[in-house]
Amino acid sequence: MKNNILVLGGKGKTGSRIVTRLKNLGHHVRVGSRTENPAFDWNKPAGWPAVLEGMDSMYITYQPDLAVPGAKEAIAALTKVAKEKGVQKLVLLSGKGEVEAERCEQIVLNSGIETTIVRASWFNQNFSESFFLPPIQQGVVALPKTQLKAPYVDANDIADVVVKILLNKGHEGKIYELTGPRLLNFEEIIAEIAKATGRNLQFIPITLAEYVGAMKEEGVPEDVVWLMDYLFTEVLDNEANQVVTNDIEKLLGRKPTDFLEYIAETTVTGVWNQVVEV
């Protein structure tokens, strides 16, 4: 049986991988994005009914994060439209160890639609497809909270889990916490990337205030600056986020991707060797 599945954030780190997997399996996939037709824009709810029309299931990612102000209201409005349009299953990507995100989870869980929550630790791909990439390309990485470790999870593992949930029964009302197999801090990560790429990457420990100040000087949008400050303060420095789980192994019957496996795969692409001038 082929399903009609809407993937919000279908061009993002997890969404794009989920779209590829579902299409390869022959399902009818609609990409939720501002550049698609019909377009999905979190700031334009009037267009949501057209995007949700005819969809059986939906994967939800909220940009930039469920923790930001306004997320709860947007999620509540989206689930209302989903129920009106007869969507039968929701899978919400949430953040592990985020109190604000958990409030959004409850909205979806109480929507009256079959729901599964996927709480993910920080992504491996943050170092190759997101905010930590430019400093690596420049050769100088300055980050705060260097002593804290996290069980970074691979976006491919998240995609595999979400596809399994979307296509199978038995996950209704469940909350899964996805992590990688071991804890790593920033200095260890940069050292491993340097070794794999053969580059001389300089790592500089700084304070959170210095990091936030640097983002503001570079003109990073205010909501992103707020989010990064929040993630470093409330999420990374949170004991709940420094725990390795076995949910990926339970769901997929295999070990989660190790950071060294991710490094090996990413090094081949050459993205870390694209040197950018500071």
Q: Measured in Å, how far apart are the chain's first and last C-alpha atoms?
A: 52
What is the pTM assigned to this prediction?
0.95
Helices (H), the chain: 15-24, 48-52, 71-84, 99-109, 133-138, 155-167, 186-197, 208-217, 222-230, 247-252, 259-269
Residue 233 DSSP symbol: I
- Report the pLDDT value the prediction gives residue 239, as an integer from 0 to 100: 76
> Would you state the structure tokens that stand for residue 74, as one six-digit string?
């947007």
pLDDT in tens, the chain (278 residues): 899 999 999 999 999 999 999 999 999 999 999 999 999 999 999 999 999 999 999 999 998 899 888 999 999 999 999 999 999 999 999 998 788 899 999 999 999 999 999 999 999 999 999 989 999 999 999 999 998 899 999 999 999 999 999 999 999 999 999 999 999 999 999 999 999 999 999 999 999 999 999 999 999 888 889 989 988 888 887 777 789 999 999 999 999 999 999 999 999 999 999 876 65
Report yes or no: 160 and 20 within 8 Å, Cβ to Cβ: no
Specify the pLDDT at position 277: 63
Q: Characterise 142 by phi-psi region: left (phi > 0), alpha (psi -120 to 50), beta (else).
A: beta
What is the C-alpha separation between 262 and 19, in angstroms, rounded?
20
Q: Which strands form 114-120's sheet, in the order they lie side by side?
A: 28-32, 4-8, 57-60, 89-95, 114-120, 175-178
Architecture of domain 4-123+153-180+242-256: 3-Layer(aba) Sandwich (3.40)
Residue 147 pLDDT: 86
Do 235 and 160 contact (CB within 8 A), yes or no?
A: no
pLDDT value, residue 231: 87
Alpha carbons within 13 A on the beta-carbon side of 42: 17
Q: Residue 95, SS3?
A: strand
Q: Which of 56, 164, 68, 152 is nearest to 116 (CA)?
A: 164
Neighbours of 275 (CB within 10 A): 10
Domain residue ranges in the chain:
4-123+153-180+242-256
The answer to whether 136 and 201 have CB atoms below 8 angstroms apart is: yes
Of 4, 119, 117, whose CA–CA distance to 56 is shortest?
4
